[in-house]
């Protein structure tokens, strides 16, 4: 078993990149041993979708790209980070019943807590931020 497996992809801050990021992460997790159809896949897919959508929509054009970092440490902890160049930390927007947005961070927090994980926002050296989701990984690493 590898002590650390990691991968990174940088994509343009364009709505089409959200799909690319989701596919990339799910393909990578399958390569790392997550069985097809495992419920973790759907949850991670949703978290990646919400994190990357936030990086595209809420950076106000100040981040021409975003980066998705995936790390699997000692086969025990999965880290997924989405980095953009905008300094504003994610925040919960008012989400009325008629609104289509404002629920992304609520969803991410709920799923992270459901797995017994944690959410963390760290500043980057260039003034942006990385939003990290860390969840336990119980799948044997290939």
34 pLDDT tier (thresholds 50, 70, 90): confident
Q: Residue 111's pLDDT is what? A: 93
Q: For residue range 7-30, what is the model confidence (pLDDT) as tens digits?
A: 999 999 999 999 999 999 999 999
Q: Residue 56's pLDDT is what? A: 92
141 pLDDT tier (thresholds 50, 70, 90): low
Distances (CA, A) of 142 to 8, 30, 51, 72: 19, 9, 27, 11
| pLDDT of 123 over the 70 cut | yes
| pLDDT of 137 over the 70 cut | yes
Q: The whole model's pTM is what?
A: 0.88
Alpha-helix runs per DSSP H in the chain? 15-31, 39-57, 104-114
Contact by Cβ (8 Å): 25, 45: yes
Q: Which two tokens stand for residue 133?
A: 């989701």
Q: Residue 87's pLDDT is what? A: 87
């Amino acid at each position: 078993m590898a002590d650390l497996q990691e991968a990174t992809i940088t994509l343009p801050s364009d709505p089409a990149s959200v799909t690319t990021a989701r596919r990339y992460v799910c393909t990578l997790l399958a390569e790392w041993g997550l069985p097809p159809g495992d419920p973790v896949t759907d949850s991670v897919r949703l978290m990646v979708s919400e994190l990357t959508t936030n990086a595209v929509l809420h950076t106000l054009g100040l981040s021409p790209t975003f980066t998705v970092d995936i790390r699997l440490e000692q086969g025990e902890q999965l880290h997924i980070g989405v980095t953009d160049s905008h300094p504003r930390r994610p925040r919960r927007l008012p989400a009325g019943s008629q609104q289509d947005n404002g629920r992304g961070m609520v969803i991410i927090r709920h799923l992270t807590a459901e797995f017994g994980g944690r959410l963390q926002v760290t500043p980057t050296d260039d003034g942006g931020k990385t939003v990290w989701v860390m969840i336990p990984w119980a799948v044997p690493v290939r």
